[in-house]
């Protein structure tokens, strides 16, 4: 399957291991990535906060570039925040032909581009379940994550609002992470924070509260005996992993829980080595996930 691939900014910036892992995993899943390297940041909701029209036009530009990729089945991203921010813009663009024309006039006259309503834009998590299929995914597992207890962490932008994100009985996308963990042979850890906010959006405005949010979720998962957390959102990863030492201080607890990117978890189960997946680049080393001496996945006994 060929996809117009939007990696986002952070996956090529402060979480480079995410983009790298996706690159390694894609061929194993028979996904051909055509990178949208000309596109710009989705604005993560902040540009929309500044000017809705600006955010809508910049993302319409990304959609238009994706629509130029020949034979692409869909547009795919690996960031919950991009998914939500782009989805919000698409909802407005697709709702009104008149509004779309305002945006398209700018695109046409300034960039020579045009967005046609109705682009299919899916996060890698949705692609795994809806395009690759769980049975197919299971059959590709060469190293099942037996005994690995994984706490899912979705990121707000990919679970709310449900109607915009197409979450319904037919596509319960807010349950997919659990399904994928199980398909890879792991055990899903149920804990309070799985669908909550990591706190990242207010890290520069109210650092204490932001870190408290991250700390609570990591602590909840850790107390539920999780070996690690997996997230499809690199911004959540920044607060849960990069900031974990400070988050631990904010909640007054010892925290030491590895946070994996979704493609890393998939890659581990498909036989890739932790090194190939960039797992040494995390702030919290995934020692409880991997026996480094043998590169074998599985919980290390306490």
Partner 1 sequence: MAATQSDNTQSTEPTAQEYTLRIRRYNPETGDAPFWDEHTIELEPHRSVLEGILQAKDLFDGSIGIRCSCRAAICGSCGVRINGQPGLACQTHLDTALARGDGSGVIEVEPMGNMPVIKDLIVDMDAVHWKKVQRVTPWLINKEPIPEREYIVPRESMIDITQSMACIQCGACVSDCLSMEADPLFVGPAALAKAYRFVGDPRDDQQYERLKDLAEDAHGIYDCTHCFKCIEACPKGVAPMNQIMRLRRRAGGDHHINDRNNGDRHERTITSLIRDYGLLHEGEMLPRSYGGDSWFGKFHPAAAQELLGSLPVITKALMRRKVTPMKALLGHKIPKDDLADVKKIYKRVEGRDERIEFNLYISGVDEDDEQIRNEPVAEVAPGKEGSSR
The pattern of x and - marking residues 163 through 192 that bind partner 1 according to CB under 8 A reads: ------x-----------------------
The distance of closest approach from Cβ of residue 239 to partner 1 in the complex, given in angstroms and rounded to an integer, is: 10
Q: 30 to 49, contacts with partner 1 by CB under 8 A?
A: 37-41, 43-49
| Contact by Cβ (8 Å): 255, 130 | no
DSSP-assigned letters across all residues of 50-71: H-HHHHHHHHHHHHHHHHTSTT
Decide: is 97 part of the binding site for partner 1 (CB under 8 A).
yes
Decide: is 212 part of the binding site for partner 1 (CB under 8 A).
yes
| Contact by Cβ (8 Å): 167, 242 | no
Pairing type for strands 296-297 and 290-291 reads: antiparallel
Residue from the set 71, 98, 135, 254 that interacts with partner 1 by CB under 8 A: 98
The distance of closest approach from Cβ of residue 166 to partner 1 in the complex, given in angstroms and rounded to an integer, is: 14
List the one residue out of 73, 187, 196, 63 whose CA is nearest residue 126. Answer: 73
Decide: is 77 part of the binding site for partner 1 (CB under 8 A).
no
Rounded CA separation 135/133 (Å)? 6
Task: Name the segment binding partner 1 (CB under 8 A); options: 25-33, 88-96, 220-228, 259-267.
Answer: 88-96
The distance of closest approach from Cβ of residue 144 to partner 1 in the complex, given in angstroms and rounded to an integer, is: 26
CB atoms within 10 A of CB 252: 9
CA–chain centroid gap for 298, Å, is: 23
Residue from the set 3, 5, 6, 15 that interacts with partner 1 by CB under 8 A: 15
The distance of closest approach from Cβ of residue 155 to partner 1 in the complex, given in angstroms and rounded to an integer, is: 10
Rounded CA separation 236/220 (Å)? 16
| Contact by Cβ (8 Å): 181, 188 | yes
**Polymer length in residues for the chain:** 302
Q: 244 to 263, contacts with partner 1 by CB under 8 A?
A: 245-246
CA distances from 158 to 29, 107, 246, 299 (A): 22, 27, 26, 28
Nearer to partner 1 among residue 39 and residue 72 (C-beta): 39
Size of residue set near partner 1 by CB under 8 A: 70
Decide: is 205 part of the binding site for partner 1 (CB under 8 A).
yes
Rounded CA separation 47/40 (Å)? 12
The distance of closest approach from Cβ of residue 130 to partner 1 in the complex, given in angstroms and rounded to an integer, is: 22
**Site for partner 1, rule CB under 8 A:** 9-10, 12-17, 37-41, 43-54, 56-58, 61, 84, 91-92, 95-99, 102, 106-107, 110-111, 156-157, 160-162, 169, 196-197, 199-202, 204-206, 209-210, 212-213, 216, 242-243, 245-246, 280-283
């Amino acid at each position: 399957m060929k996809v117009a691939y939007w990696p986002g900014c952070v996956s090529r910036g402060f979480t480079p291991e995410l983009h790298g892992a996706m690159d390694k995993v894609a061929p194993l899943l028979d996904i051909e990535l055509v990178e949208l390297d000309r596109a710009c940041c989705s604005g993560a909701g902040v540009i929309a906060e500044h000017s809705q029209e600006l955010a809508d036009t910049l993302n319409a530009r990304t959609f238009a570039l994706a629509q130029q990729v020949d034979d692409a089945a869909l547009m795919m991203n690996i960031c919950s925040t991009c998914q939500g921010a782009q989805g919000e813009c698409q909802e407005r663009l697709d709702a009104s032909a008149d509004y779309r024309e305002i945006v398209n006039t700018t695109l046409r006259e300034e960039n020579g581009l045009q967005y046609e309503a109705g682009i299919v834009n899916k996060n890698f998590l949705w692609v795994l379940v809806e395009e690759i299929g769980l049975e197919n995914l299971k059959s590709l597992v060469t190293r099942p994550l037996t005994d690995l207890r994984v706490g899912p962490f979705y990121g707000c932008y990919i679970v709310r609002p449900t109607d915009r994100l197409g979450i319904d009985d037919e596509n319960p996308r807010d349950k997919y992470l659990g399904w994928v963990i199980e398909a890879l042979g792991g055990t899903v850890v149920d804990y309070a924070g799985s669908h909550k906010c990591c706190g990242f959006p207010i890290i520069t405005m109210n650092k204490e509260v932001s870190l408290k949010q991250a700390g609570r979720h990591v602590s909840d998962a850790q107390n539920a005996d999780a070996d690690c957390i997996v997230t499809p959102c690199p911004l959540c990863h920044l607060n849960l992993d990069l900031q974990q030492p400070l988050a631990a201080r904010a909640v007054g607890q010892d925290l030491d829980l590895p946070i994996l990117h979704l493609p890393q978890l998939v890659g581990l189960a498909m036989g890739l080595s932790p090194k190939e997946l960039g797992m040494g680049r995390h702030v919290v080393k995934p020692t409880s996930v991997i026996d480094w001496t043998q590169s074998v996945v599985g919980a290390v006994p306490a």
